[in-house]
């Protein structure tokens, strides 16, 4: 396909609006092919929603996030050795009644088999259906997961025959925590993809925090190509206009922001609702029971959906002798942060006892646009359009799916499209 009206100035860079991992992946791919790029990031550091703050010796990721080692494009683009990945335990612990039950992968943790079989999350047929779901998601080529019919995940699970206890006590806190929606309205395609990733890889944290991922991507680019504190007001096929009124010409422009900002730059009406979360961090003394398992709220009572101790996964997340607790609450928070902190602390106390009163609240992150809604219909991230119009492209979650794998894939796909179009531009 011949693309017309791209700027003729081959010395102008490709401008990438947004320094999240989609934009960085796109920039890296273009730079590898000797195309000049410039990344324009509105905030003071690259990484998009993947950021890690340091506070009193603790590492606080802005929102609970993990890297799934099975992500194909993460394996392609990231150096896992340099990230020094530390893995969560392969399984979860679910709070039901007055105790936690361990559900572990029997192939990786066979000594937890009896606990896994005995957990009151459903019957034997639920285990068989879960195995069938896992095999059906893990074995075919991944692109096949994003073709064919799709349902909201709640409807899909019921159609598959899962019992209500299995859905409410396992899938709601687990998959609801992944997509930040306990009503399980996300696409069944996304559900099957998540099941596949957990079956084929491990959930891990870089030793230095999640921000090590975008920092590693950025390290492959010339320092001069990364421009932070640069907020873009308008995008054209010839370049961009910044908030200060200055203009930059471009061979092509790639919009790599989150969906709300991308829609604003493209003057589109919002198409997908945002889902929100709050991540609260607490500091406490290290204890033997602070495990590497993700802890899920299987009762649906109280504000907490899930929590974990990142410092039990990577010791660098907390000072020596201390632990870091990360608590996730779904949805928009109450107007008063103190109200939410008190409610979370009360639930933690009910679970773990009076010791929680000594836990020090470090910080709360209220993230209004933590993810876009992933309700059907969804675009296949392998086939979604990356060209908006002549000279303007997109990568990231706009018209695709959110998440590290899809951000990296979309960055690469967009870069490949830009390379093809620059090579083929000109008259027919």
Q: In the prediction, which pLDDT does 427 show?
A: 39
Q: In the prediction, which pLDDT does 6 show?
A: 39
Residues 382-402, mean pLDDT to the nearest whole number: 93
Q: Using one digit for the tens of pLDDT, what is the confidence trace for 404-420? A: 999 999 999 999 999 99
Q: In the prediction, which pLDDT does 336 show?
A: 85
* Average pLDDT taken over every residue of the chain: 92
Percentage of residues of the chain with pLDDT beyond 90: 84
> What token pair was written down for 296?
């899920």
H-type helices in 139-280, by residue range? 153-159, 164-166, 172-179, 188-200, 212-218, 259-265
Counting every residue written for the chain, the total comes to: 428
Would the pLDDT of 186 be above 50? yes
Q: In the prediction, which pLDDT does 423 show?
A: 82
Second CATH level (architecture) for the domain 14-50+211-272+378-424:
3-Layer(bba) Sandwich (3.50)
d(CA 2, CA 301): 57
Q: Looking up tokens 């995940």, which residue turns up?
A: 153
Q: Looking up tokens 């997340």, which residue turns up?
A: 317
> What token pair was written down for 428?
């027919």
Q: Using one digit for the tens of pLDDT, what is the confidence trace for 312-337? A: 999 999 999 999 999 999 998 888 89
d(CA 127, CA 134): 10
Cβ(24)–Cβ(213) below 8 Å: no
Going by pLDDT thresholds of 50, 70 and 90, the confidence category of residue 426 is very low
Angle of CA points 382, 159, 118, to nearest 5°: 105
Q: Which of the 8 DSSP states describes residue 359?
A: P
Which of 365, 359, 343 minimizes the C-alpha distance to 309? 359
Q: In the prediction, which pLDDT does 201 show?
A: 94
Going by pLDDT thresholds of 50, 70 and 90, the confidence category of residue 112 is low
Note the pTM of the prediction, 2 decimals: 0.93
Would the pLDDT of 47 be above 90? yes
Q: Using one digit for the tens of pLDDT, what is the confidence trace for 64-106? A: 999 999 999 999 999 999 999 999 999 999 999 999 998 877 6
Query: Which residue ranges make up each domain of the chain?
Result: 14-50+211-272+378-424, 52-87+204-208+274-372, 121-201
Q: What are phi and psi of 323, to 5 degrees?
A: -125, 155
Q: In the prediction, which pLDDT does 2 show?
A: 33
Q: Which of the 8 DSSP states describes residue 315?
A: G
Q: Using one digit for the tens of pLDDT, what is the confidence trace for 21-42? A: 999 999 999 999 999 999 999 9
d(CA 106, CA 108): 5
For the domain spanning 52-87+204-208+274-372, the CATH number is 3.90.660.20
Would the pLDDT of 249 be above 90? yes
Could you tell me the strand order of the sheet in which 203-206 lies?
Answer: 67-68, 203-206, 85-87
Cβ(11)–Cβ(387) below 8 Å: no
Q: In the prediction, which pLDDT does 1 show?
A: 31
Percentage of residues of the chain with pLDDT beyond 70: 94
Q: Using one digit for the tens of pLDDT, what is the confidence trace for 134-157? A: 999 999 999 999 988 899 999 999
């Amino acid at each position: 396909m011949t693309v017309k009206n791209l700027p003729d100035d081959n010395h102008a860079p490709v401008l990438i609006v947004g320094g999240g991992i989609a934009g960085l992946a796109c920039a890296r791919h273009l730079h590898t092919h000797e195309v000049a790029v410039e990344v324009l990031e509105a905030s003071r550091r690259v990484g998009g929603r993947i950021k890690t703050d340091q506070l009193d010796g603790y590492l606080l990721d802005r929102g609970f996030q993990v890297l799934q080692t099975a992500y194909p494009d993460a394996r392609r683009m990231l150096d896992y050795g340099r990230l020094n990945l530390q893995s969560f335990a392969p399984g979860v612990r679910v709070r039901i009644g007055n105790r936690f039950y361990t559900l572990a992968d029997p192939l990786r943790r066979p000594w937890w088999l009896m606990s896994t079989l005995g957990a009151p999350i459903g019957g034997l047929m639920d285990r068989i259906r879960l195995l069938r779901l896992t095999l059906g998601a893990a074995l075919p080529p991944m692109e096949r997961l994003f073709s064919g019919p799709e349902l909201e995940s709640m409807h899909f699970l019921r159609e598959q025959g899962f019992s209500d206890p299995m859905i409410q006590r396992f899938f709601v806190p687990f998959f609801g925590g992944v997509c930040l929606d306990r009503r399980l309205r996300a696409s069944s395609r996304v559900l099957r993809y998540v099941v596949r990733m957990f079956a084929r890889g491990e959930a891990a944290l870089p030793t230095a925090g999640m921000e090590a991922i975008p920092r590693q991507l950025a390290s492959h680019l010339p320092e001069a190509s990364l421009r932070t504190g640069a907020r873009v007001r308008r995008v054209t096929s010839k370049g961009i206009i910044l908030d200060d009124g200055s203009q930059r010409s471009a061979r092509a422009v790639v919009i790599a922001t989150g969906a709300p900002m991308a829609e604003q730059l493209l003057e589109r009406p919002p198409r997908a609702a945002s889902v929100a979360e709050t991540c609260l961090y607490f500091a406490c003394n290290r204890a033997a029971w602070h495990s590497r398992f993700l802890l899920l709220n299987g009762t649906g009572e109280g504000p907490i959906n899930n929590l974990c101790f990142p410092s039990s996964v990577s010791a660098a997340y907390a000072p020596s002798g201390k632990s870091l607790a990360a608590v996730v609450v779904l949805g928009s928070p109450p107007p008063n942060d103190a109200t939410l902190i008190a409610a979370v602390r009360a639930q933690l106390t009910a679970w773990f006892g009076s010791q929680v009163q000594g836990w020090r609240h470090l910080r709360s992150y209220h993230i209004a646009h933590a993810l876009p809604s992933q309700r059907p219909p969804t675009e296949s991230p392998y086939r979604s359009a990356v060209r908006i119009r002549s000279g303007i492209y997109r990568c990231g979650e706009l018209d695709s799916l959110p998440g590290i794998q899809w951000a990296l894939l979309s960055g690469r796909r967009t870069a490949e499209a830009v390379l093809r179009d620059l090579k083929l531009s000109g008259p027919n």
